[in-house]
Amino acid sequence: MKISYYPGCTLKTRAKNLETSALAAMDALGLEVEELTRWNCCGAVFSLADDDLIHIVAPVRDLIRVKESGHDTVVTLCSMCYNTLARANELMKTDEVKRKTINDFMDEEPDYAGEVRVYHLLDFLRDEIGWDKLKEMVKKPLTDLKVAPYYGCTLLRPADVAIDKPDNPRILHDFLSALGAEVIDFPGALQCCGTYQILGNPEAALSASKDILADATGHGAEALALACPLCDYNLGHKQDIMMTKYDGLKEVPIYYFTQLLAVALGLSSDEVNRFDINRESAKQLLESKSLIA
């Protein structure tokens, strides 16, 4: 089964660790993925204005590239790319009037009507491989690693593109269980990290992220697993600022779910996991558990 892979811009710049670990892990799982030869930024945020169709053009163009490549499935790793592509796809599938407007505008492209299936790697693993089979393929179970699954917003909202039940998701829980980790349930798993507020209103974003980290460690988590580069930016890269700002906040490593997948599949090299982009504590924790050399 050959599938298209849509990386998204951040995976080529600030979140290379999400891409390198995922590509190595998918290879180890026997999944044949091909990066689209032509692709553009998905737009990152799905426009909510009802008549703002120009911002739907970019993701639809990417979906047309998938169709052109002869594949009917595209997998993404970044949850914001997933959200934008999946919502644009839904719109093209269900809204006849807007579909026509967009197709008419892109008169240099073939018409598109939502023929491509948009997956995030998490629901692709669940639906196409299955947790039992994934568990069998694990070579280095993440035994004793207490990981809190952090979903954020864009994998679960709105409901029509959610990869699991929006109010009670299990997918990241089940994924981490399959890898052998000790899954730490915590209420903050569905809270917003503050997203782009980190630019315009950093106080609000830092406060939101701090609550999530404190909640996770308060429930006994040693680390967080997530899928979104922006969540990682706020929860991970801004942790030093939060620790100076908020007394008693504990350092907690943040992993992309794909890094934990790679490690569990026995892929422990620096080239694969690029822990140099994570917080220093990320590599240290795995070393202390003898999960990587």
Partner 1 sequence: MSTTADETKKVEAQLIPIYIMGKQYEVPESLTIMKAMEYSGYKYIRGCGCRGGVCGACSTVYRKAGDYKIYSGLACQTVVEPDMYLTQIPFYPALRATFNFEEMQGKPEEIFGLYPELFRCVACNLCTKICPMDVEVMDYIAALKRGDILAAREISFDCIQCGLCASRCMGELPQYHIAQIARRLAGAFLTPKAEHLKTMVANIDTGRYTEGLDSLKAMDLDMLKTTYSDREMEPAVAGDDWTPKENSNL
Q: Is 100 in the site for partner 1 (CB under 8 A)?
A: no
Of 61 and 87, nearer to partner 1 (C-beta) is 61
- Which residues does 192 contact at the CB level (< 8 Å), separation at least 6? 152, 153, 208
Q: Is 104 in the site for partner 1 (CB under 8 A)?
A: no
Give the residue, chosen from 58, 137, 190, 249, that forms a contact with partner 1 under the rule CB under 8 A: 58
Q: Is 45 in the site for partner 1 (CB under 8 A)?
A: no
Query: Closest separation between CB of residue 45 and partner 1, Å?
Result: 12
Degrees to nearest 5, angle at CA 99 with 95 and 105: 155
SS (H, E, C) 97-144: HHHHHHHHHCCCCCCCCCCCEEEEHHHHHHHHHCHHHHHHHCCCCCCC
CB of 12 within 8 A of CB of 273?
A: no
Q: How far apart, in Å, are the Cα atoms of 21 and each of 52, 273, 287, 288? A: 36, 5, 17, 20
Piece of the chain touching partner 1 by CB under 8 A; list 39-47, 91-99, 115-123, 160-168: 39-47
Piece of the chain touching partner 1 by CB under 8 A; list 51-59, 92-100, 151-159, 274-282: 51-59
Helix 257-264 crosses helix 16-28 at what angle (to 10 degrees)? 40
Q: Is 196 in the site for partner 1 (CB under 8 A)?
A: no
CA atoms within 13 A on the CB side of 112: 30
Q: Is 34 in the site for partner 1 (CB under 8 A)?
A: no
CB of 134 within 8 A of CB of 146?
A: no
Piece of the chain touching partner 1 by CB under 8 A; list 56-64, 181-189, 246-254, 284-292: 56-64
Nearest to 205 by CA among 187, 222, 184, 191: 191
Give the residue, chosen from 13, 51, 159, 248, that forms a contact with partner 1 under the rule CB under 8 A: 13
Of 55 and 98, nearer to partner 1 (C-beta) is 55
Give the residue, chosen from 4, 21, 61, 145, that forms a contact with partner 1 under the rule CB under 8 A: 61
Give the residue, chosen from 20, 43, 238, 292, that forms a contact with partner 1 under the rule CB under 8 A: 43
List contacts with partner 1 (CB under 8 A): 7-9, 12-13, 38-41, 43, 54-55, 57-58, 61, 105-106, 108
